[in-house]
Structure 1
């Protein structure tokens, strides 16, 4: 397989998204120009910003639809990043739309902006719905800020994001009622109906239909729960026709174990063994209530799984050889990748102390069977070598793996560790598209 072929999946997916967005920006701008200017320049600007906001809202839906083709090529980390930045653009467009509309009509009527907003809400169809949509999107935006996200459980954060769909419906009905480019042209109406239909259809397919179909087809159940250490447990799952489940080593699922008190809890866990068509295995550390209670799950428990998700797979391997770096329980997708990745492999396993190295025995056996090199680096998170360099900094990476720039590097671990590793790799001249460091962020 050539280098060009190996880089194509991610490049084509990213380029495809940009082309789709750019083409629709062009169409929306043309529809705006065709509708003509408004009575006040501020209102004209507000209309254009409102149209761009509607387009960005539809694009947001596409990014969170969890469509397999996009997810396998870009991964949730990149889709989440695009979702976040698009969200910032959406908020600014909506804020500008509201401000320019209010001040534009206030200037025409000779009243103050607050009084004009009240008048518009009372007299113009769809304005109240638009205000409600803006308030909901602002609420979701605040909940998605980093300071708030760290304090929210995944289920709470996910529930808050469901309000986005209500905001979409309210915004679209507002556009139908008063949008100049919508009500003034048959082509514009067809375009907007198609755009929103495709966006909502993608969400329905990726978030509802596909998970329901896969779970109905595969009938997943727990077969065994095996403690790996005092605070780490592996869960073995089997089902029907698992050889037809498109899961790859390095990917993860969002798991729900359908028992009393747990069915509502959704937890993202990576596969800790490459799928063999017969069973799946996840391995989790007790970091919260959800993962801590896994050891109490009984064999035979039904499982509802969403996925597989993630681009942390050999699909993106460019070089003949690889370096796998794991920190703590981040060893789970790395251990699965070791079964699947090609070429000569070096594995670096970073832990606070030797006893924290879960799955070490089978990792060592697997490395031995395929001729891979395994290094276990133990020490506290802030540990440095005799030269004062981080254990996974550029100097030590170059010492452990002398041809590191000629390997694909897959990194999974705590964010501080991952940041140190990526920085070190960049200092050593490893190409950006050879570094794969998915953090398994979830776009809701």
Structure 2
């Protein structure tokens, strides 16, 4: 139908293999430097303790108290690093990608919580030992003071964040509920600041330690406020997006065509996603992380949605003219992440949507792309006709695998294909010199990745789009 066209990506000068390798190495080095910065930040927290107050060994109570203070400083520093990683800062997103940044964010959750709990316990025990009083009595006396009570609220909020981020819990928790808990944790971290600044000689007035700590807080909270809320609000107003048309692709899949102003200035690349909010009576409260399913033009873009619950199901009934706000684009699942011209692609089910947009921006020699499309049945062949057309236009090879999955290590393919000995090595004979882009359910993607690695795929040339938050 006529409405199903979007502008193709603007032509650019094709990068050489040498330029691609240099860009890839630069990105890897930058990722390493970012990891180093996290460790340096934690070391600086310890430096605050070591330089502000000399370590004293004149009593077990004093030693335990000092260890508690050190644990609190490092734990709080890691929480602030987590906030920065979750702020969706464009530079971090371009370097490591949203998925990787959030993976590091989640990995710091438990260590920071354990350090903060150790901080609370060690301080109570240390003060009790130094004063020769009962531990429970000392704990109650501390909790009933105003600034310590605020710190206790912060620790309780961190416990809630860690618990709601556990996969088994998160699976049953609505996104909005999970998001609300995390927003409250940011507030809790902020209200714990008065307690930290009251630590006398540790963060004394006029000291560089106090200035550094306040700047660290300002950076983390400021990044959240600016990049998570202010920038998306400004861009949503500037681009004035509305739903133009809803197109039915399959019984449980629709494409939303969205109209706006100067959409080419978003800088969105095929394979990236945005977080959408549709302002209708039934959908305004629910944010949706959805990938583009075609390269945007200056006035129109497309996202394709599969109904996986009440929230996504309501999008199929959005009336034309519904206002749309957004945040993004995010992610490094783009052609800019590649290190060479040989491209392997694996897509399953609705995972074809970012792949479809990724292809629109891909500029490689003819015959350099090999695509594997996977579906459990003919009903799940979403947008395959568009992929076939792109492959015809660009001389790419496309293989399809339809049917129930087979057993064994090649179980990411249909049973009929695994029985014939098909594997990553036969689908992509040059996999060792390729960049592999995978998009689909996590379990399926894990099998593709493992098979490709056995066939010789370098770890740093693997690219995945994960469906989680």
TM-score range, shorter chain: over 0.9
Q: What is the alpha-carbon distance in structure 2 between the residues aligned to residue 396 and residue 268 of structure 1?
A: 32
Partner of 1:430: helix, strand, or coil?
coil
User: 2:56 aligned with 1:32, yes or no?
Assistant: no
Equivalent residue number for residue 308 of structure 2: 287
Equivalent residue number for residue 371 of structure 1: 395
Partner of 2:371: helix, strand, or coil?
strand
The answer for unaligned runs of 5 or more in structure 1 is: none
The answer for unaligned runs of 5 or more in structure 2 is: 1-15
In terms of mean alpha carbon deviation, does 389-398 or 225-234 score higher? Answer: 389-398
Question: TM (normalized to structure 2)?
Answer: 0.89
Partner of 2:198: helix, strand, or coil?
helix
Equivalent residue number for residue 144 of structure 1: 165
In terms of mean alpha carbon deviation, does 359-368 or 247-256 score higher? Answer: 359-368
How far apart are 1:184 and its partner, in Å? 6.2
How far apart are 1:28 and its partner, in Å? 2.5
Equivalent residue number for residue 208 of structure 1: 229
How far apart are 1:4 and its partner, in Å? 3.7
Which deviations, in whole Å up to 9, do the C-alpha atoms of 1:209-262 show, x marking residues without a partner? 110111111000111110011111000111111121111100011111111121
Question: TM (normalized to structure 1)?
Answer: 0.94
1:62 to 84, 88, 92: 84
Q: Please show how residues 237-256 of structure 1 align to structure 2 within 5 Å.
A: 237-256=258-277
How far apart are 1:278 and its partner, in Å? 2.7
Question: Using a 3 Å threshold, how does the CA distance of structure 1 residues 148 and 91 change in structure 2: closer, same or farther?
Answer: same
Question: Using a 3 Å threshold, how does the CA distance of structure 1 residues 191 and 235 change in structure 2: closer, same or farther?
Answer: same
Q: What is the alpha-carbon distance in structure 2 between the residues aligned to residue 25 and residue 168 of structure 1?
A: 17
In terms of mean alpha carbon deviation, does 274-283 or 305-314 score higher? Answer: 274-283
User: 2:39 aligned with 1:17, yes or no?
Assistant: no
CA contact (8 A) 2:158 2:185 kept: yes
In terms of mean alpha carbon deviation, does 178-187 or 418-427 score higher? Answer: 178-187
How far apart are 1:27 and its partner, in Å? 2.8
Q: What is the alpha-carbon distance in structure 1 between the residues aligned to residue 307 and residue 79 of structure 2?
A: 37
Q: What is the alpha-carbon distance in structure 1 between the residues aligned to residue 119 and residue 216 of structure 2?
A: 20
Equivalent residue number for residue 193 of structure 1: 214
Q: Please show how residues 344-383 of structure 1 align to structure 2 within 5 Å.
A: 344-380=368-404, 382-383=405-406
Q: Please show how residues 350-429 of structure 1 align to structure 2 within 5 Å.
A: 350-380=374-404, 382-384=405-407, 390-391=412-413, 396-429=423-456
How far apart are 1:160 and its partner, in Å? 1.3
CA contact (8 A) 2:343 2:370 kept: yes
The aligned length equals: 439
In terms of mean alpha carbon deviation, does 302-311 or 340-349 score higher? Answer: 340-349
How far apart are 1:388 and its partner, in Å? 7.5
CA contact (8 A) 1:310 1:440 kept: no
Question: Using a 3 Å threshold, how does the CA distance of structure 1 residues 204 and 9 change in structure 2: closer, same or farther?
Answer: farther
Which deviations, in whole Å up to 9, do the C-alpha atoms of 1:260-315 show, x marking residues without a partner? 12111111111000223331100011111122111211111110111111111111
In terms of mean alpha carbon deviation, does 183-192 or 211-220 score higher? Answer: 183-192
Question: Using a 3 Å threshold, how does the CA distance of structure 1 residues 376 and 53 change in structure 2: closer, same or farther?
Answer: same
What's the RMSD between the two structures over aligned residues?
A: 1.9
Equivalent residue number for residue 75 of structure 2: 53
Structure with the larger RCO, 1 or 2 (CA within 8 Å, 6+ apart): 1
CA contact (8 A) 1:321 1:342 kept: no
How far apart are 1:355 and its partner, in Å? 2.5
1:95 to 117, 121, 126: 117
How far apart are 1:72 and its partner, in Å? 2.3
Q: What is the alpha-carbon distance in structure 2 between the residues aligned to residue 309 and residue 388 of structure 1?
A: 31
CA contact (8 A) 1:49 1:93 kept: yes
Partner of 2:136: helix, strand, or coil?
helix
